Amino acid sequence: MDEAVARSLENYIIVDIGANLTNKKFSKDLEHVVARARDAGVQKIMVTGTSVQGSKDALRLARLYAGTLYCTAGVHPHEAKSWTEDSYSTLKEVANSVECVAIGECGLDFNRNFSEPAVQMAVFEKQVGLACDVKKPLFLHERDAHDELVGVLNKFGHRLPAGVVHCFTGSVAQLATYLDMGFYIGLTGYLWKDKTTEGLRHMLETGLLPLERLLVETDAPFMFPNTRASKVPSHVRDRLTPRALSYLQRYCSFQRNEPCSLPATVEMIAAFLNKSPEDVALATTFNALKLFGLST
């Protein structure tokens, strides 16, 4: 490994735009999880709100770890059926807090339909309206519902705020639509398993997904980046540094991914882009600061 690359990793400054730190898997050692993230170079983490109560819990964590953790306020499409007449006002109260930097995780998921599609559509539209009202960006979730999600967003016209399509795994055509709409694209450790002809790797290698619109996230405790898998090309695996792998392999697993794994994902992205990892870290951090207004 190049010594300059090894040294640069110690100076990574990365923003994890999506980690589910309110998940019960982090209930016993969150302080250590946050400390490990910072040691690995992940200096700021956005804690995802996926329900009304989860958004309140995310805000509580953001206040406990002020300057390191931030939060979002939203109801995940899986949880849309839990929406009540008080949900909007409660979410708005969270959203108006300085620690809250986005509305979501909100959107549509017609893959599993844990909530009925019609209910998902109604609750999603309410949350896009909330983002317009409080003038904060959207943190979007979409699975097998691209056209329907775009249809809801287009209802808001020029009022629609900026945002990110989190954990993107869609097609080239869907990517082009989101980019044309001005959205950023969030990538996770899913990258290790994607090897379709026109999948994420292709989008990065061909420049279809430009660095200036890219954000990185762990979606912890999910989306563990299995860098040891045979699906990871050798030229990518060879560019993963011992320091990044040490955090990934020592502290993370399929059962519980952590934000400290993010440098490994950044290095994979850099390999596919044929850029240096420090350039990817710098650009994605700048993008996160710009989109979400995170304090420096």
Count CB atoms within 10 A of the CB of residue 107: 29
Name the strand (E) or helix (H) holding 146.
Answer: helix 146-154
- Name the nearest CA neighbour of 265 among 227, 221, 209, 222: 227
105 annotated as a binding-site residue: yes
146 annotated as a binding-site residue: no
- Name the nearest CA neighbour of 114 among 146, 77, 75, 144: 77
158 annotated as a binding-site residue: no
- Name the nearest CA neighbour of 48 among 188, 217, 260: 217
DSSP string, 110-171: TTT-SS-HHHHHHHHHHHHHHHHHHT--EEEEEES-HHHHHHHHHTTGGG---EEETT----
Q: Which residues are annotated as a binding site?
A: 105, 141, 166, 219
Tell me the binding residues for a divalent metal cation: 105, 141, 166, 219
